[in-house]
C-alpha cells in the first residue's frame, strides 16, 4: 500500500512539474509591452519686442546732505544756554549751540583794544601839526571807537608819508593783533550754520572742553543722501538728475529721489562706481536703510525674461512644430532675477518656465489656458 501511494505522488509531481515548465516557457515568449511616449507640457510666451526700461537695484543707508561735526578750537568750561545741548535738540540758523566761558580771554581782548585806542590817541597831536589834512578822519575814527563793539577798520592812508608815520607808531600791528584776538574770541560761541538738529552730543554743561575736542554732530534733517556702489558696467548708464524709486526694507513706504552726483573714479578694489541719491522727506531719518531702483537706460527692441531661462552659451529654448530648439541671443543687461535680451525675432515662441531635463529635439506640447465657462 505504501508503494502505491509513493508511486501516485511521484506521478503527480512529474505532471505538476511539466505544467509549471510549460507555463514559464509560454510567458517568456510573450512580447514585452512598449512604453507609451511621454510628451511634456510646457509653458510658453510669444516674443513681442518693445522698449525695456533697465532698472539697476541697489541699497544703502541715509546720510544728511548737510552735516557738521562740531569741534572746539579753544579751551574752557561749557556754560549752559537757553537750550540743553542734547541729541534731538533743534536750533534755528544763528542760534548759539555751545557757549564756552571766555571771561578771561575777553579781558585780554579788551586790554588789546584799549592799547590800540591809546596808541591812536597818542598820535593825534602829531597828526594835527604834521598832517592837518588827514587829522579829521583819524579824529572821527577815534570818536567812533567803542570798546564794547568790534574794532572798526582803520582809515585808509592817502600818502606814503602818512603810511610811514602810522606804521612807525605800531598802529597797524596793534590793529591786526586786536582783530586776531577778536576772531579767536568768536570761537568761544558755536552757532548753528543752518536750521537743524543735534544727533550726537559728547559733552554736557559744566564740562571742561579742550582744544580740538569733538563736541557732537549737527545735521539738517530736511535733505538726505544715499550712497550706492554699482558695478563699473553700469557707470555709463547713470546720469545726474535721473529719477530714482526707493522703498524701505518692509516695502511699506515708497520715496522719490534723484541722482545728485556720480563719482568720476572707480574703486580699484571692488571695481564699483559710487553714485549719490538725494531724497527729501520729513519721514526719513539719518541711518535708515533703503532700497533703490535706478532707471538707468531704455533699451529699444528687446525683451525681458527670467535669468534661469538663459542657457550657458547665451541661448534660449524655443518651440518649433512641437519640438524644442535653441536660439542664440544677445544679453544686454543682467539683473538679480531678470535678463534683457536682443536679437529675438518677433513671434518666436519661447519657454516661459524652465523644463527639467530639456534638450534640443525634445517633443513637447504647449500649455493652453482653459476657456472660462460662463454658465
pLDDT tens, residue by residue, 311-359: 888 899 999 888 889 999 988 888 778 888 988 899 899 988 888 888 8
Q: 235 vs 68, 70, 76, 347, CA distance in Å?
A: 30, 35, 50, 34
* Residues 274, 200: Cα–Cα separation, whole Å: 27
Question: Can you name the residues that pair with 218 across neighbouring β-strands?
Answer: 68, 198
What pLDDT score does 6 carry? Answer: 65
pLDDT tens, residue by residue, 128-171: 888 888 889 999 999 999 988 899 999 988 888 888 888 888 99
What pLDDT score does 73 carry? Answer: 93
What pLDDT score does 173 carry? Answer: 93
* All three cell numbers of 98: 555751545
What pLDDT score does 268 carry? Answer: 87
Residue 374 has pLDDT above 60, yes or no: no
* Residues 311, 329: Cα–Cα separation, whole Å: 10
Average pLDDT over residues 29-58: 76
Residue 189 has pLDDT above 90, yes or no: yes
pLDDT tens, residue by residue, 249-299: 888 889 999 989 888 888 888 888 888 999 998 888 999 999 888 777 788
Average pLDDT over residues 352-374: 79
Of 118 and 31, the structure prediction assigns the larger pLDDT to 118
What kind and span of H or E run contains 293?
Answer: strand 289-306
* Residues 63, 75: Cα–Cα separation, whole Å: 30
* Residues 348, 345: Cα–Cα separation, whole Å: 6
Sequence-ordered alpha helix ranges (H) in the chain: 2-28, 103-130, 135-143, 160-168, 171-186
What pLDDT score does 27 carry? Answer: 60
- For 308, the 3-state DSSP assignment is helix
Residues with Cβ < 8 Å from 187, sequence gap 6 or more? Answer: 72, 73, 74
* All three cell numbers of 50: 518693445
* Residues 54, 208: Cα–Cα separation, whole Å: 56
* Residues 140, 136: Cα–Cα separation, whole Å: 6
Instruction: Report residue 152: phi and psi, to 5°.
Output: -70, 160
Average pLDDT over residues 31-36: 55
What pLDDT score does 179 carry? Answer: 94
DSSP calls for 261-280: EEEEEEETTTTEEEEEEEEE
* All three cell numbers of 325: 530648439
What pLDDT score does 1 carry? Answer: 64
The CA-CA-CA angle for residues 241, 245, 251, to 5°, reads: 160
* Residues 277, 257: Cα–Cα separation, whole Å: 6
Cell 534723484 belongs to: 258
Number of helices (H), then strands (E), belonging to the chain: the values are 5, 22
* All three cell numbers of 200: 550726537
What pLDDT score does 333 carry? Answer: 82
What pLDDT score does 300 carry? Answer: 87
Of 25 and 224, the structure prediction assigns the larger pLDDT to 224
* 195 Rama sector, left if φ>0, alpha if ψ -120 to 50, beta otherwise: beta
Q: 292 vs 59, 258, 287, CA distance in Å?
A: 6, 10, 15
Mean pLDDT of the chain, nearest integer: 86
Residues with Cβ < 8 Å from 362, sequence gap 6 or more? Answer: 40, 323, 324, 355
What pLDDT score does 238 carry? Answer: 75
Residue 115 has pLDDT above 90, yes or no: yes
Amino acid at each position: 500500500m505504501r508503494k502505491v501511494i509513493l508511486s501516485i505522488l511521484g506521478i503527480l509531481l512529474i505532471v505538476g512539474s511539466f505544467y509549471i515548465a510549460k507555463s514559464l516557457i509560454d510567458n517568456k515568449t510573450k512580447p514585452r509591452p512598449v512604453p507609451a511616449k511621454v510628451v511634456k507640457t510646457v509653458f510658453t510666451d510669444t516674443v513681442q519686442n518693445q522698449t525695456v526700461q533697465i532698472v539697476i537695484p541697489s541699497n544703502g543707508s541715509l546720510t544728511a546732505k548737510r552735516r557738521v561735526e562740531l569741534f572746539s578750537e579753544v579751551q574752557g568750561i561749557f556754560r549752559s544756554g537757553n537750550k540743553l545741548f542734547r541729541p534731538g535738540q533743534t536750533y534755528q540758523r544763528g542760534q548759539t549751540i555751545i557757549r564756552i566761558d571766555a571771561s578771561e580771554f575777553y579781558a585780554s581782548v579788551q586790554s588789546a583794544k584799549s592799547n590800540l585806542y591809546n596808541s591812536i590817541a597818542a598820535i593825534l597831536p602829531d597828526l594835527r601839526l604834521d598832517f592837518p589834512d588827514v587829522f579829521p578822519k583819524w579824529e572821527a575814527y577815534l570818536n567812533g571807537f567803542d570798546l564794547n563793539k568790534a574794532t572798526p577798520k582803520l582809515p585808509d592812508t592817502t600818502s606814503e608819508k602818512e603810511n610811514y608815520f602810522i606804521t612807525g607808531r605800531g598802529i597797524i600791528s596793534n590793529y591786526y593783533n586786536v582783530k586776531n584776538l577778536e576772531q579767536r574770541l568768536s570761537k568761544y560761541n558755536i552757532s548753528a550754520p543752518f536750521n537743524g538738529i543735534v544727533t550726537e552730543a559728547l559733552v554736557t554743561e559744566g564740562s571742561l572742553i579742550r582744544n580740538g575736542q569733538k563736541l557732537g554732530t549737527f545735521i539738517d534733517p530736511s535733505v538726505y543722501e544715499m550712497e550706492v556702489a554699482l558695478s563699473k558696467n553700469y557707470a555709463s548708464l547713470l546720469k545726474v538728475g535721473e529719477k530714482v524709486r526707493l522703498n524701505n526694507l518692509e516695502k511699506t513706504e515708497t520715496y522719490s529721489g534723484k541722482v545728485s552726483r556720480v563719482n568720476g573714479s572707480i574703486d580699484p578694489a571692488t571695481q564699483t562706481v559710487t553714485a549719490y541719491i538725494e531724497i527729501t522727506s520729513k519721514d526719513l531719518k539719518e541711518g535708515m536703510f533703503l532700497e533703490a531702483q535706478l532707471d538707468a537706460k531704455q533699451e529699444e527692441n528687446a525683451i525681458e525674461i527670467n535669468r534661469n531661462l538663459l542657457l550657458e552659451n547665451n541661448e534660449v529654448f524655443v518651440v518649433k512644430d512641437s519640438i524644442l530648439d535653441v536660439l542664440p541671443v544677445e544679453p544686454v543687461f543682467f539683473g538679480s532675477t531678470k535678463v534683457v535680451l536682443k536679437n529675438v525675432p518677433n513671434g518666436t515662441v519661447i519657454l516661459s518656465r524652465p523644463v527639467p531635463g530639456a534638450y534640443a529635439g525634445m517633443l513637447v506640447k504647449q500649455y493652453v489656458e482653459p476657456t472660462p465657462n460662463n454658465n
